[in-house]
Structure 1
């Protein structure tokens, strides 16, 4: 049985002071939730500003291949969003300082502006526990706002496809080549951790999907992990106030982002996400057209990839719960079966 990794140790007062020194002096700090592979602290500076310090572990032994260099990826993500006209810089933290010297802390670190709000996942969970779950209309409205924000995000572009961190080694000149490298990386991770996966069926599906993937010729900035825990909302109104944790960003197909915003889905993209995306100028094919069939083919591949990642990452870090493990395993079986019984590309 795999022993789940311990969270990255909290930063000391001296480390926080050193990392924040170019900006000011910390007067108070609070460690934020999460942090298996990064220590994250909310810090108040002596001039009253609230910032967030994120410092990544230098130990890459429990990272999947695509996760290597992710603190640098987050810094690049923040810079690009704030440098791109029309991108959601009002929702994404601003990069204030990047420290890759590993002198203040034995890992890469970033300091960014704090954005208001609390995770949508927490708001929904708290409402459920209180016996007053969010109604369908509220959930749909948040999804539409997320879709609109993604349409703005996808105005940003890069120069190569795939994960940009040099440490990951997963950047390529075309989207089919990048996606193939991503698939091989997660299959290699599965082998490294002794996780059983249907490698032959996955590789076969990826090869058959190359023509559909080749339709993507512009490397759009993709957040890649915009689930409800990385969407901040005003707890009183459920209005979207922030998009955080861009550390798993990549360059590729915008459809990948809409898929990742619905990470446990096995079918189409939720309608409110699509509505919000289109309303904000996002480019999606009209239903029942050849282009829509092409999108459906790519969507099946992206759902397969994400479920592979979620399945394999349980090797180095353990499942969040037995229910979590079973849900991913069942979804993965469904997705592999679907790809085996219908064409991937059109």
Structure 2
């Protein structure tokens, strides 16, 4: 089969399209014939091995442990391993292959608990855009953020992959949403339901008078003091390790997260960090929101498999908005 393979950490130039052996599903796994996959900031971090602490955590200093990139996937079940129930060959599914990656390929093996039936109203391309970004937004707002109807939430990085889902999910949960983005994305986040939009090229939300019960920071481009300044006295600040940077960092977004963990011990404000990883329960919740018309994935651009390096390079420039999708 054709797959995007990487042998060492580095730029998108380290990615190459190669012929590799087709995987076979182990017990509890499903072999999916990939129809579409999506690019995430996670893929960039693994590709670059950035921040460097990730290399230590993975116990792999020269290159990624798993050579085929990609997590988000939508496709058709080709075969199932022992012990898998509820899924059969021919079923249309979507999900997240997890830290073993492998989705930028014609076939990928995915743990069954990380897959769910594809929402009927979505194309494969749209479905592939949902799992990791949608799950991250849902976990952040519903679980880590404990967002309640009537609360005011600020989403910093509202036009990104996670941000576009966060705006919609926050509205579905009954919140009043303020979205922070650049000028060119104001119309987009407004169309997603944001009640207020702050164009950061013209206005600094940290210097405003508004206060929020929940601040969801998805880009890590502001100081901890700035983010806390716009919280209510007992509000919640959520820090995510997402986003891409110029690279070459030791801790990357983890630096802000570490400072947040330390500061949380000395304030009434709640400071927490979170990360997303899809599972069937989260995907089922997202499907319900999608089928109800409350959430719709937004795709910036799609690329064929052979241009995956170009797709990640596009994401790396930080000009991408919403989701970038790989089609097969």
- Same fold, TM-score > 0.5, yes or no: no
Greater fraction helix: 1
Q: Tell me the TM-score normalized by structure 2.
A: 0.29
Q: Tell me the TM-score normalized by structure 1.
A: 0.28
